[in-house]
Amino acid sequence: MIAGAIALTQVPVAAAHETTATGGITSGHGVALALVGIAVLVGSALLKRTGRSSPTLALYGVFVGLSLTVLGTVLFEGLSPDPTYTARSMPFPRAWYQPLALSVGTAVAAGSVLVGRLRWPTRPRYALLGVLMGLWIAYPYLIPGSSDSHPLGYAIVLATPVAVAYVLWTDAGDALRAVLRDRVARRFGLGTAVVLLVFFFGVTGYLSFFPEEGAPHEVTVAVLPTIYQLVTWPTLEIALPHVPLFLAVSPGQLLILGTLSGLIGLNGALIARQWRAEQRAGFTEGTAGSAAVVGTCTCGCCGPLVAKIAGLAAGPAIAAPLYWLFVDPMSPLSALFVVGSLLLFAGSIVYSVSAVRNVDTSVTVSPSD
């Protein structure tokens, strides 16, 4: 983000969009707002850490900082120029995608079985979830020609939130129910999930409040088939140019983005509960927990944003390989980021449950702290 801010000083305002169409708001304003949000978030965490702020007040500060960061990032993404890349800029032939997808997918599945057998022999659900994630990566090339409409693809997508929910219910259900009984922690987790869901919609282009050049100046409502995460879904598209507003929603999109946002929200609720219970945590743990909620830009949903920042900061020569490896829908590594995010956030919840269970149940968290 800081590199993007420096690069933006070299980008003409007209390159983003006409200032008259955006009320004078530029991508630079988005960067500034995001930096302010990060400062508020970090400052709130530090004030809590040093005892100058109550846990509940610090949580409000973290949420405000997170919201400002998300809003600034969405503004930056929507107002900065979209990079374009030609096939000539590919670092390797697209024919490599198939062996790469099959080898990486097989490695993830086989590695999950091996690690699950050695590390968690009594919890086969971990290995099964890893195998499912391996299928995510390899699937597009397992059924060439019809992968976007094959029942197996829909089964993989639909089974993913079910499998994640089963793991959490089995290994963290009791702790999560106890955490969500705390009203402040519950509200913080829900608010974080909603803010991150808006973030995901915004950076992937499915939600926009900026007029698009060349778009018809009339209200448009249509249902179109769109490929999203492995298969084709009926997508409701709403365009209100006089607002302006563009929104596209599909079942697959809600499943995947809703799952990611929900996992981040549960992580946020766990952090809030730990803070509210006055658990003595080290500096690194406390600040890392807050940063984990914000650091979602590493997931595959934010690949276009990362490639855009890289293009502005380092130029197309550096950004082009990143695009073809991690953003191109045909690349197997684009799915790897989504898979990694799901495993990371679900694993973080299960791991954090042990910390929550160590909280003294005799501690009473008053609403006014």
Query: What DSSP assignment string belongs to 194-218?
Result: HHHHHHHHHHTTSEE-S--TT--SS
Of 139-143, 202-206, 268-272, 363-367, least confident by mean pLDDT is: 363-367
Question: H/E element holding 239?
Answer: strand 231-240
Q: How far apart are CA 250 and CA 230, in angstroms?
A: 13
CA distance 278 to 51: 11
Q: Which residue shows structure tokens 């390797």?
A: 92
Largest Cα–Cα distance of the chain, in whole Å?
65
For residue 247, the cross-strand partners are 207, 238
Are 217 and 204 spatial neighbours (Cβ–Cβ below 8 Å)? no
Answer for the pair 134, 109: CB distance below 8 angstroms, yes or no. Answer: yes
pLDDT at residue number 68: 94
Return the higher-pLDDT residue of 94 and 191: 191
State the pLDDT confidence band at 121, using cuts at 50, 70 and 90: very high
- Categorize the per-residue pLDDT at 227 as very low, low, confident or very high, splitting at 50, 70 and 90: confident
Q: How much is the pLDDT for 316? A: 61
pLDDT band at 281 (very low <50, low <70, confident <90, very high): very low
Calpha distance 20→4 (Å, rounded): 23
193, two tokens: 């999930």
pLDDT at 332: 74
pLDDT recorded at residue 309: 60
Give the span between the Cα atoms of 280 and 278, in whole angstroms: 6
Residue 340, SS3 per DSSP: helix
Contact by Cβ (8 Å): 359, 270: no
User: With 80 as the cut, is the pLDDT of residue 356 above it?
Assistant: no
**In contact, 265 and 168? CB cutoff 8 Å:** no
Taking CB atoms within 8 Å and a gap of at least 24, the contacts of 83-90 are 83/307, 83/308, 83/311, 83/316, 83/319, 83/323, 85/316, 85/319, 85/320, 85/323, 85/324, 89/316, 89/320, 89/321, 89/324, 90/320, 90/324
Instruction: Indicate whether 311 pLDDT > 80.
Output: no
Return the higher-pLDDT residue of 110 and 327. Answer: 110
Residue partners of 48: CB distance under 8 A and separation at least 6: 54, 55, 57, 58, 275, 286
Percent of the chain with pLDDT over 90: 39
What number of H helices and E strands is found in the chain? 13, 4
Q: Residue 357: pLDDT above 80?
A: no
Mean pLDDT of 58-77: 91
Q: Which of 41-45, 64-68, 328-332 has the lowest mean pLDDT?
A: 328-332
Quote the pTM value.
Answer: 0.81
11-39: per-residue pLDDT in tens? 443 443 444 456 677 878 888 999 999 99
Q: Is the peptide bond before 244 cis (omega within 30 degrees of 0)?
A: yes
H/E stretch holding 231 reads strand 231-240
Q: What are the C-alpha distances in Å from 174 to residues 123, 179, 180, 301?
A: 17, 9, 10, 30
What average pLDDT is seen over the chain? 79
Integer Cα distance of 2 and 313 in angstroms:
9
Query: What is the arrangement of strands in the sheet containing 207-208, beginning at the earlier edge strand?
Result: 207-208, 245-249, 231-240, 220-228
| 225 phi and psi angles, rounded to 5 deg | -75, 130
Q: Give the model's pLDDT for residue 341.
A: 84
pLDDT in tens, 312-346: 555 566 666 777 776 777 777 777 778 888 888 99
